[in-house]
C-alpha cells in the first residue's frame, strides 16, 4: 500500500479532499437511516453541500454516491493494476497477484470507516450490481496486467491469464463474503489453501474418473 509520505503535495491535498467527501457522505448516510434508507435518502447534491464543494468537484473524485458510501470501484481497479506491477518487480507472477489482491483489500480496510464501508458493500443489496462490476473489472485488470509476463503464443497466454485471474478473483470473492460474516477470518490463509487444494482436487477427480 502506498504510504502518504510517498505522495506529492498535490496528491496529498487530493487525498485529503477525497477523505473529506467520504466522511461527509458517511455522516449523511448515518443521519438518513444508515442501512434503513440511508443510501436512498442521501443525494449527491447533499454530499457535495456537506463537503462544501460543487457537484462538478464531487464527480472529479467519485463516479456515483455508491462509490463514496460503499467502495470506490474505479480507485479499487486502478490500485489493483498499480499493485500488480509493483509486486511483479520483486515476486513471481502468482505471488504478485496474490499480494496485490491483499494490498487492494488492505487499502480499503486500513481505517475504521474503511472497514465499515467495506462491510456495507458486502451486505447491502443496493451495492450488489456494483460488486459484480468490481469483480469483473478486477478480473480484467489482472488479465491485462499479467498477460505480457506469460510465455507461449497469444492464445495460450490469454487462456492462462484468464484462468489465473478467474481463480484469484473467485477465491478472494468467497473469502471476502466470509470475512463479512466474521472480521477475524483469515482471507490470505483461505485463498492460499484454495490454490494449494486445486491441483489435488483435479488429480483426485481424474483418478476417480479413469478408475470408474
pLDDT in tens, the chain (212 residues): 444 557 788 889 999 999 999 999 999 999 999 999 999 999 999 999 999 999 999 999 999 999 999 999 999 999 999 999 999 999 999 999 999 999 999 999 999 999 999 999 999 999 999 999 999 999 999 999 999 999 989 999 999 999 999 999 999 999 999 999 999 999 999 999 999 998 888 788 767 656 65
CATH class held by domain 71-212: mainly alpha
For the whole model, what pTM was predicted? Answer: 0.85
User: What pLDDT is attached to residue 1?
Assistant: 44
How far is CA 192 from each of CA 69, 97, 151, 180, rounded to the nearest angstrom? 31, 12, 24, 19
- For Cα atoms 210, 211, 212, give the angle at the middle one, nearest 5 degrees: 95
Among residues 183, 35, 14, which one has the least CA distance to residue 114?
183
The CATH fold of domain 1-69: Arc Repressor Mutant, subunit A (1.10.10)
Report domain extents, the chain.
1-69, 71-212
User: What pLDDT is attached to residue 44?
Assistant: 98
Amino acid at each position: 500500500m502506498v504510504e502518504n509520505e510517498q505522495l506529492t503535495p498535490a496528491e496529498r491535498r487530493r487525498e485529503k479532499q477525497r477523505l473529506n467527501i467520504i466522511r461527509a457522505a458517511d455522516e449523511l448516510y448515518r443521519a438518513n437511516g444508515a442501512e434503513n434508507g440511508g443510501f436512498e435518502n442521501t443525494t449527491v447534491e447533499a454530499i457535495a453541500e456537506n463537503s462544501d464543494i460543487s457537484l462538478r468537484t464531487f464527480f472529479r473524485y467519485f463516479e456515483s454516491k455508491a462509490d463514496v458510501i460503499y467502495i470506490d470501484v474505479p480507485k479499487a481497479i486502478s490500485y489493483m493494476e498499480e499493485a500488480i506491477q509493483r509486486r511483479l518487480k520483486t515476486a513471481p507472477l502468482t505471488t504478485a497477484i496474490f499480494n496485490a489482491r491483499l494490498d487492494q483489500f488492505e487499502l480499503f480496510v486500513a481505517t475504521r470507516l474503511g472497514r465499515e464501508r467495506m462491510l456495507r458493500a458486502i451486505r447491502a443489496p443496493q451495492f450488489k450490481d456494483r460488486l459484480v462490476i468490481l469483480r469483473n473489472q478486477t478480473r480484467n485488470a489482472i488479465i491485462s496486467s499479467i498477460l505480457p509476463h506469460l510465455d507461449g503464443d497469444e492464445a495460450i497466454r490469454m487462456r492462462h491469464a484468464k484462468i489465473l485471474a478467474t481463480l484469484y478473483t473467485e477465491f478472494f470473492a468467497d473469502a471476502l463474503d466470509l470475512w463479512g460474516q466474521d472480521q477475524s477470518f483469515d482471507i490470505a490463509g483461505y485463498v492460499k489453501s484454495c490454490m494449494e487444494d486445486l491441483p489435488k482436487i483435479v488429480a483426485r477427480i481424474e483418478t476417480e474418473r479413469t478408475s470408474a
